[in-house]
């Protein structure tokens, strides 16, 4: 349901504006708004002092964010901390100093990581070189280290070397993590000039050793590779220990400073919404009506009775600009994750969450309707809930899954299905209502009847909700609901489902009501009613999806006898059931949600609500404006 909101006005001495805003921030229940300026008060002019303070706060926050990001880059995460913030000047100076220091550490780490990765890439090739070069061979053999960008270049290099040198060369390769190929090439020293010309003509890039090796030849650099790699790893460890020591000394203060600076900036922004004179201020905002006493108590405790709070009459507001807060009973709350995919409903309209909580699992169960699949879904929902303990999305998904599973098991008994016809064949299971493989017309009637009831409820909800604001439109919605009932009665009478005596009265009444609706809503009423009927027919997809599901399950069961080997047949049957179960999870979910979003919501849903963004204390996960 949509929480009732109240628009309030806070009035007090100009000197108490800052303290009042901080008290409102502590309460965390008011969305401060830029309200019209009351007569006799002036909108607060742009104060240069306020502008400079905003600049200093923003710059200090940016510096702290840079410091924390640098620490994270160095492998040190600083947890968010609550508590009193240090003076703003101290925090800004500390952040400025640490940012310079950490910028140097990050640059050093990047250079060391590049060198470490290069040495690790070269090390296996140098191991090969160490094995290939026997003592005294360095005078007769030249060594090349090459870098190739693609495998095609490697093939061309092999072909060129074979043409020029035949078998008189040695080539070893290694592919790096970024997809490049490092080539170690050994050739006779007498052929250096020829090889240099060919490599230059082919634009083959020479790979360079890290700067620590200077210009030393590859053969001389060989004994220094492993010691240098150990030095680099040790330097990285020491550097990260230095970063961890900085975080240990200053991390808590930085985290508390970030919160305090953000809070100060939010409060400063809220103060600019106040209308002020030389002696007084007026501040307006929205809060949940039930939180008014909480705010009054907080203001009295913090700033005393010099500040007055009044509620602007709720009945004076159409609610078009009121923010929207949704709250639902615990049994319905998980389904907010499904309605949150749409824009918020307009304030003063209807929260669709309770209707989704009732009809989504029921329609899902009507489609799937299998005791076996329902039992597996229950187990899966329990596993999701246990694996994601403490995470709201996992908890909501688990509860939605459990609700849908219960209806799936229930309709499975009504249809007499357990993994398709396996329950019938193995356990003698019989449908308590009808067998949907054979009673397809009955299944279609059930689907269309559910659609008619679903849309009828939506029309009634729309008529009741709009009665206060648009009575003409409310009458139109209500009479459309009556027309839908009369149309259903006429059809039932026509097919002998109810007494034929009702046929003509239903048709005559339908025509009269139709004429009244056209008078109320114009010629578009014809199109609206045809749209409602078309929406009812859309619920036939419930029958189509359900029939397809049970037929696939039956086909899976028949596979165990379609192969020469019983074990092979059972294996294929299990795989087919698994595929059908995966389809069963996703396809009905998508189509049932479509029936809600497109058909059901079209009858009453009014989007356009704005989110409630109260002034409160900042946190890394908070969303404020």
Q: What is the pTM of this model?
A: 0.74
For residue 510, the model assigns a pLDDT of 86
Two structure tokens written together for 79? 């947890």
Structural domain includes residue 238: no
Handedness of CA 292, 296, 302, 306 (dihedral sign): positive
Domains in the chain, number? 2
Q: Please tell me the total number of residues recorded for the chain in this structure.
A: 625
148/145 Cα distance (integer angstroms): 10
For residue 155, the model assigns a pLDDT of 77
258/274 Cα distance (integer angstroms): 25
Structural domain including 554 reads 350-605
| E strand or H helix at 183 | strand 181-188
For residue 623, the model assigns a pLDDT of 43
Q: Of 225, 245, 273, which residue sits at a domain end?
A: 225
Q: Of 225, 250, 274, which residue sits at a domain end?
A: 225
419/104 Cα distance (integer angstroms): 65
Structural domain includes residue 445: yes
Which 3-state string (H, E, C) describes 496-513?
CCCCHHHHHHHHHHHHHH
Q: Are 207 and 145 in contact (CB under 8 A)?
A: yes
Structural domain includes residue 413: yes
Q: Which of 540, 587, 591, 592 is nearest to 360 (CA)?
A: 592
For residue 411, the model assigns a pLDDT of 95
Q: How many CB atoms lie within 10 A of CB 22?
A: 18
Q: Are 140 and 192 in contact (CB under 8 A)?
A: no
Q: Of 161, 195, 225, which residue sits at a domain end?
A: 225
Structural domain includes residue 48: no
Q: Are residues 452 and 600 in the same domain?
A: yes
Sheet holding 141-148, edge to edge: 170-175, 181-188, 141-148, 205-206
For residue 383, the model assigns a pLDDT of 93
Q: Are 8 and 33 in contact (CB under 8 A)?
A: no
CA distances from 122 to 118, 207, 268, 357, 595 (A): 6, 10, 57, 61, 61
Q: Are 557 and 422 in contact (CB under 8 A)?
A: yes
Q: Which CATH number covers residue 139?
A: 3.30.70.2750
Q: Are residues 423 and 569 in the same domain?
A: yes
- Which residue positions in the chain have pLDDT lower than 70? 38, 40-47, 127-139, 151, 214-223, 313-320, 560-566, 622-625
Determine the 3-state secondary structure of 387 from DSSP: helix
Q: Are 346 and 610 in contact (CB under 8 A)?
A: no
Structural domain includes residue 221: yes
DSSP per-residue string spanning 538-584 = HTHHHHHHHHHHHHHHHHHHHGGGSSS-HHHHHHHHHHHHHHHHHHH
Q: Which stretches does DSSP call E strand in 22-102?
A: 31-33, 42-43
Phi, psi for 53 (deg, rounded to 5): -65, -40
For residue 593, the model assigns a pLDDT of 94
Q: Are 349 and 465 in contact (CB under 8 A)?
A: yes
For residue 241, the model assigns a pLDDT of 92
61/576 Cα distance (integer angstroms): 57
Residue pointed to by tokens 């108590």 = 297
For residue 443, the model assigns a pLDDT of 92
Determine the 3-state secondary structure of 284 from DSSP: strand
Structural domain includes residue 324: no
Structural domain includes residue 446: yes
Structural domain includes residue 361: yes
For residue 624, the model assigns a pLDDT of 39
């Amino acid at each position: 349901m949509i929480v009732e909101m109240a628009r309030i006005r806070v009035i007090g001495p100009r000197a108490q504006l800052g303290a009042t805003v901080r008290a409102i921030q502590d309460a965390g229940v008011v969305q401060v708004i830029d309200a019209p300026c009351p007569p006799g008060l002036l909108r607060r002019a742009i104060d240069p002092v306020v502008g400079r303070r905003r600049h200093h706060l923003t710059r200090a926050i940016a510096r702290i964010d840079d410091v924390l990001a640098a620490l994270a880059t160095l492998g040190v995460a600083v947890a968010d901390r609550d508590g009193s913030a240090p003076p703003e000047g101290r925090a800004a100076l500390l952040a400025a100093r640490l940012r310079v220091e950490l910028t140097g550490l990050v640059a050093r780490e990047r250079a060391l990581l590049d060198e470490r990765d290069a040495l690790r890439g070269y090390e296996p090739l140098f191991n090969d070189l160490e094995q290939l070069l026997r003592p005294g061979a360095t005078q007769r053999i030249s060594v090349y280290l090459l870098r190739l960008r693609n495998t095609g270049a490697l093939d061309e290099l092999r072909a060129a070397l074979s043409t020029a040198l035949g078998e008189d060369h040695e080539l070893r390769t290694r592919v790096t993590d970024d997809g490049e190929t490092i080539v170690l090439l050994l050739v006779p020293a007498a052929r250096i000039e020829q090889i240099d010309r060919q490599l230059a003509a082919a634009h083959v890039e020479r790979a360079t050793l890290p700067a620590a090796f200077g210009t030393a030849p590859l053969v001389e650099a060989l004994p220094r590779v492993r010691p240098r790699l150990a030095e680099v790893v040790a330097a990285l460890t020491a550097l990260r220990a230095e970063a961890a020591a900085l975080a240990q000394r200053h991390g808590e203060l930085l985290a508390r400073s970030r919160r305090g600076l953000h809070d100060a900036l939010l409060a400063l922004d809220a103060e600019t919404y106040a209308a002020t004179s030389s002696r007084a201020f007026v501040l307006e905002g929205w809060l949940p009506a039930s939180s008014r006493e909480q705010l009054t108590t907080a203001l009295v405790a913090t700033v005393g009775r010099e500040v007055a709070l009044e509620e602007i009459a709720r009945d004076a507001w159409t609610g078009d600009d009121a923010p929207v807060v949704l709250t639902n009973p615990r049994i319905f709350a998980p389904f907010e994750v499904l309605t949150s995919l749409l824009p918020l409903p307009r304030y003063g309209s209807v929260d669709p969450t309770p209707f989704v909580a009732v009809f989504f699992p029921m329609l899902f169960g009507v489609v799937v309707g299998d005791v076996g699949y329902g039992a597996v879904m229950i187990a899966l929902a329990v596993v999701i809930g246990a694996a994601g303990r403490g995470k709201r999305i996992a908890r909501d998904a688990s509860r939605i899954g459990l609700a849908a599973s219960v209806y799936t098991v229930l309709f499975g008994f009504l249809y007499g299905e357990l993994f398709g016809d396996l329950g019938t064949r193995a356990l003698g299971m019989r449908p308590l209502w009808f067998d949907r493989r054979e009673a397809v017309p009955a299944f279609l009637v059930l689907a269309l009847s559910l659609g008619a009831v679903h849309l009828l409820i939506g029309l009634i909800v729309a008529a009741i909700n709009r009665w206060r604001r648009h009575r003409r439109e409310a009458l139109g919605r209500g009479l459309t609901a009556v027309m839908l009932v009369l149309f259903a009665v006429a059809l039932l009478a026509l097919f002998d489902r109810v007494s034929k005596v009702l046929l003509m009265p239903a048709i005559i009444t339908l025509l009269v009501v139709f004429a009244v609706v056209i008078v109320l809503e114009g010629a578009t009423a014809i199109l609206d009613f045809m749209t409602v009927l078309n929406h009812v027919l859309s619920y036939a997809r419930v029958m189509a999806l359900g029939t397809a599901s049970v037929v696939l399950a039956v086909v899976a069961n028949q596979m165990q006898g379609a192969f020469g080997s019983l074990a092979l047949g059972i294996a294929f049957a299990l795989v087919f059931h698994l595929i059908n179960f995966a389809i069963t999870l996703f396809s009905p979910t998508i189509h049932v949600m479509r029936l809600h979003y497109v058909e059901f919501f079209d009858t009453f849903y009014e989007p356009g609500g704005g989110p409630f963004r109260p002034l409160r204390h900042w946190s890394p996960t908070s969303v404020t404006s």
